[in-house]
């Protein structure tokens, strides 16, 4: 590997498990055909140690499962914090398994940002969307957000709503007000189509996707294209055999980044069918950066993929 061409991923996401306690209708986890696994400790520690060889901005022990279904998640979080003390630790959960006992276990651990996927405050809609009991989740979140506890659990807390075609304006307004009362950030986002596996009215953007600048490791060790490639069909490599940095700078990953940065996203299968709208402007020429900036602004103004929308 030529050192002058080495790139570092801005984020490493580790699927410590692909098991989930929810059945979200907008998530491909329900249709996943690969084995349901909990990542073994040896592989997890190997990935963490790989990440110590380069400056890593953020790490997320989450991909296509619920972290709190992993029986070893608390030990894994502690290991991340011990071995990667300067890397931002972000944690995602649906909140159902975020019990008071687990919340207390997070106190002072050093989570930088905690995201909770809530999606609605309507009990019937919640059960339809996620297959869970809203009352238990709200009880967990009430405990989490008590003023003396919340800042010790995470530096930032964000509750997230995925906006589907059925999401009403009132649901969105109620969600925003609920977050305001609890003193957490609210985030409403449109529906991703998971490279065409989930119906969404949001089109495929023409500009580079930010997912080309991250590493996503499945519970088996396969480094997949991104979190949208839930079956690992478009693998970049295998973390059991190669280092994270070598995989990120390997020929498959490099090809994807090159096509995106050249404005040829449509040639990068399956990216030409995927509507992830988060942009990346890393390592593009000033001219292309200006062109992509216009495309990004146009997409967000026209399709409004984030925030409240009727």
pLDDT in tens, 195-248: 888 889 999 999 999 999 999 999 999 999 998 998 999 999 999 999 999 999
- Give the Cα separation of 35 and 198 in Å (integer): 21
In this prediction, residue 143 carries a pLDDT of 98
- The predicted structure's pLDDT at residue 196: 80
pLDDT given for residue 1 in this prediction: 44
Distance between CA atoms of 143 and 10, rounded to whole angstroms? 32
**Which is it for strands 222-224 and 237-238: parallel, antiparallel or unpaired?**
antiparallel
pLDDT: which is higher, 25 or 115: 115
Q: 4 falls in which pLDDT band (50, 70, 90)? A: low
Q: What is the pLDDT of residues 83-111, one digit of tens each?
A: 999 999 999 999 999 999 999 999 999 99
Tens-place pLDDT, residues 247-303: 999 999 999 999 999 999 999 999 999 999 999 999 999 999 999 999 999 999 999
Tokens 């509750």 belong to 159
Q: What is the pLDDT of residues 156-202, one digit of tens each?
A: 999 999 999 899 999 999 999 999 999 999 999 999 998 888 889 99
pTM: 0.94
pLDDT for res 5: 77
pLDDT computed for residue 25 by the predictor? 84
pLDDT at 24: 87
pLDDT for the residue numbered 99: 97
Confidence grade of residue 31 (pLDDT, cut at 50, 70, 90): confident
φ, ψ at 262 (rounded to 5°): -90, 5
pLDDT at 2: 45
Does position 3 have pLDDT exceeding 60, yes or no? Answer: no
């Amino acid at each position: 590997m030529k050192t002058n061409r080495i790139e570092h991923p801005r984020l490493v996401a580790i699927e410590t498990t692909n098991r989930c306690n929810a059945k979200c209708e907008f998530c491909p986890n329900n249709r996943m055909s690969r084995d349901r696994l909990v990542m073994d400790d040896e592989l997890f520690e190997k990935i963490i140690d790989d990440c110590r060889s380069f400056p890593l901005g953020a790490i997320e022990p989450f991909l296509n499962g619920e972290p709190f279904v992993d029986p070893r998640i608390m030990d894994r979080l502690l290991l991340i914090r011990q071995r990667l003390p300067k890397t931002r630790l972000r944690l995602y959960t649906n909140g159902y398994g975020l019990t008071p006992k687990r919340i207390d276990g997070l106190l002072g651990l050093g989570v930088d940002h905690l995201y909770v996927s809530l999606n609605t405050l309507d009990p019937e809609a919640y059960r339809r969307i996620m297959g869970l009991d809203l009352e238990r989740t709200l009880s967990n979140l009430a405990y989490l957000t008590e003023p003396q506890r919340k800042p010790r659990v995470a530096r930032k807390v964000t509750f997230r709503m995925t906006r589907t075609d059925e999401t009403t304006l009132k649901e969105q307004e109620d969600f925003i007000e609920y977050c305001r009362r609890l003193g957490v950030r609210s985030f409403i986002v449109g529906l991703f189509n998971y490279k065409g596996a989930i119906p969404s009215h949001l089109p495929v953007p023409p500009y580079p996707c930010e997912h080309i600048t991250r590493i996503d490791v499945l519970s088996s060790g396969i480094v997949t294209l991104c979190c949208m490639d839930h079956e690992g069909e478009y693998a970049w490599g295998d973390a059991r055999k190669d280092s994270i940095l070598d995989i990120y700078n390997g020929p498959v990953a490099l090809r994807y980044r090159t096509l995106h940065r050249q404005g040829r996203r449509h040639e990068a299968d399956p990216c030409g069918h995927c509507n992830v709208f988060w942009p990346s402007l890393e390592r593009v020429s000033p001219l292309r950066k200006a062109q992509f900036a216009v495309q990004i602004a146009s997409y967000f103004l026209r399709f409004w993929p984030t925030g409240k929308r009727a």
